[in-house]
């Protein structure tokens, strides 16, 4: 059974549905990817690596991981911390705004739980995925241990996968981000950047610019997302441009890239060729952006994906 680890943070998502009512869900970029991978490729072991607390919300979140059939052997429980929270509000023009409470979340401590047994388990995987958000969430004093673990996993033959997913407010400075991203690109076997994410950091404007920027790192598989425009891939030296059918009725683009990542990686772990992986991933992203929230209801998602 193929196995992939997703390291990062899952949060409590609160969505205002009218003046007085909040809808509760769980979401976070790597978690979203893990869920969509598992829904499309049930035979792959999709494992979430994170830290929660021991509170009631943490227990519900863990229960949700199990319901989504994710591996939870590396979901740690911090004795004092609790999960992060974000609140989404949509104004009368349909514009969404996000408010976060995540500075002191349990997930920031995940690397503290690493020990030789945990590293052995991670080393037994086929892939290890982390994002720019994962990197920002790991506390700066734990970064050395994190990068050391990446070296160990690489040496063990685990494919390292990185999505830059840049969120300015999670970083102290652009210089700090660039320094960490350089390390990530140097270790990545696969990267799945979005053009928009890298614009601010590297002054890139197009998929071609992103490709040029990444060409120095020796990354074997580069998958560049650009919303409804196109996807550019460079894999094993072969360059391909894939057209995307734009969705007419976009409801909520939250987690489009996450769904794309999860399904793409599931397809690649299943030995599907790059073009097929992109088609499946783009289909999943298109389904997700026609529904509200990061995680589309399972029945709706599975029905929409059944004909692919
Ligand atoms: P993004 O993170 O915005 O680059 O989007 C990730 C993926 O979601 C893209 O590569 C597309 O496959 C899909 N996607 C995003 N926006 C649209 C759209 N308007 N229509 C169809 N697919 C989209």
What pLDDT digit, counting tens, does each position of 89-134 carry?
877 766 778 899 999 999 999 999 999 999 999 999 999 999 999 9
- Residue identifier of the C-alpha nearest atom 16 of ligand 1: 227
- The pLDDT of residue 248 is above 70: yes
Instruction: Quick: pLDDT tens for 22-48.
Output: 999 999 999 999 999 999 999 999 999
Pocket of ligand 1 (CB under 6 A): 194, 225-228, 231, 244, 246-247, 250, 253, 256-257, 260, 282, 285-286, 289
Pocket test for ligand 1, best of 228, 250, 252, 259 (most atoms within 8 A of CB): 228
Q: Which atom of ligand 1 is nearest to the CA of 194?
A: 4
| CATH superfamily of the domain spanning 3-305 | Ribokinase (3.40.1190.20)
For the CA of 281, the nearest atom of ligand 1? 12
Name the residue with the closest Cα to ligand 1, atom 19. Answer: 228
CA dist 262 → 4, 94, 255 (Å): 10, 27, 10
CA of 256 to the centre of ligand 1 (A): 6
Q: What residue owns the CA closest to ligand 1's atom 1?
A: 227
Ligand 1: residue of 260, 287, 308 to mutate (most ligand atoms within 8 A of CB) is 260
Helices 274-288 and 298-305: crossing angle in degrees, nearest 10, is 140
Q: Is 258 a catalytic residue?
A: yes
CA of 228 from ligand 1 middle (Å) equals: 5
Catalytic residue among 29, 163, 258, 307: 258
Q: Is the confidence at residue 19, as pLDDT, over 80?
A: no
* Mean local confidence (pLDDT), 130-154: 98
Pocket test of ligand 1: the residue of 194, 244, 245, 255 to mutate, having most ligand atoms within 8 Å of its CB, is 244
Distances (CA, A) of 267 to 2, 102, 274, 279: 11, 32, 8, 10
Q: What's the chain look like in SS3? A: CCEEEEECCCEEEEEECCCCCEEEEEECHHHHHHHHHHHHCCCCEEEEEEEECCCHHHHHHHHHHHHCCCECCCEEECCCCCCCEEEEEECCCCCEEEEEECCCCHHHHHHHHCCHHHHHHHHCCCEEEEEHHHHHHCCHHHHHHHHHHHHHHHHCCCEEEEECCCCHHHCCCHHHHHHHHHHHHHHCCEECCEHHHHHHHHCCCCHHHHHHHHHHHCCCEEEEEECECEEEEEECCEEEEEECCCCCCCCCCCCHHHHHHHHHHHHHHCCCCHHHHHHHHHHHHHHHCCCCCCCCCHHHHHHHHCCC
Tell how far the Cα of 227 is from the centroid of ligand 1, in angstroms.
Answer: 4
Ligand 1 centroid–CA 257 distance in Å is 7
Residue 280 has pLDDT above 80, yes or no: yes
pTM above 0.85, yes or no: yes
What is the distance of C-alpha 50 from the center of its chain? 13
* Average per-residue pLDDT for the chain: 95
pLDDT tens, residue by residue, 250-271? 988 889 999 999 999 999 999 9
Atom of ligand 1 nearest to the CA of 196: 4
Phi/psi for 52 (5° steps) reads -115, -170
| pLDDT one-digit tens code per residue, 44-89 | 999 999 999 999 999 999 999 999 999 999 999 999 999 999 998 8
- Cα(260) to centroid of ligand 1, in Å? 8
What confidence score (pLDDT) does residue 94 get? 63
Q: What is the pLDDT averaged over residues 3-32?
A: 94
Whether residue 211 is predicted with pLDDT greater than 80 in this model: the reply is yes
């Amino acid at each position: 059974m193929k196995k992939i680890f997703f390291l990062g943070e899952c949060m409590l998502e609160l969505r205002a549905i009218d003046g007085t009512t909040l809808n509760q869900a769980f979401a976070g970029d790597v978690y979203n990817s893990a869920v969509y991978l598992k829904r499309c490729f049930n035979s792959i072991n999709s494992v979430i690596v994170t830290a929660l607390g021991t509170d009631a919300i943490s227990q519900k979140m863990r229960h949700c991981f199990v319901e989504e059939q994710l591996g939870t052997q590396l979901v740690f429980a911090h004795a004092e911390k609790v999960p992060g929270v974000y609140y989404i509000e949509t104004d009368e023009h349909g514009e969404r705004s996000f408010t976060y409470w995540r500075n002191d979340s349990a997930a920031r401590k995940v690397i503290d739980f690493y020990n030789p047994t945990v590293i052995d388990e991670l080393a037994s995987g086929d892939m290890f995925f982390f994002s720019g958000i994962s990197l920002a969430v790991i506390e700066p004093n734990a970064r050395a241990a994190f990068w050391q673990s990446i070296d160990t996993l690489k040496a063990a033959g685990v494919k390292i996968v990185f999505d830059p997913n840049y969120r300015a407010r999670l970083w102290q400075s652009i210089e700090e981000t660039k320094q960490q991203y350089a390390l990530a690109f140097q270790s990545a076997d696969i990267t799945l950047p979005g053009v928009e994410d890298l614009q601010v950091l590297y002054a890139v404007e197009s998929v071609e610019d992103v490709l040029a920027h990444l060409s120095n790192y020796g990354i074997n598989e580069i998958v560049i997302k650009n919303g409804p425009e196109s996807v550019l891939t460079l894999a094993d030296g072969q360059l391909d441009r894939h057209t995307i059918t734009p969705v007419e009725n976009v409801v909520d683009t939250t987690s489009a890239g996450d769904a794309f990542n999860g399904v793409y990686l599931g397809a690649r772990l299943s030995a599907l060729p790059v073009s097929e992986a992109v088609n499946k991933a783009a289909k999943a992203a298109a389904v997700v952006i026609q529904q509200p929230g990061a995680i589309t209801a399972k029945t709706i998602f599975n029905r929409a994906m059944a004909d692919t």
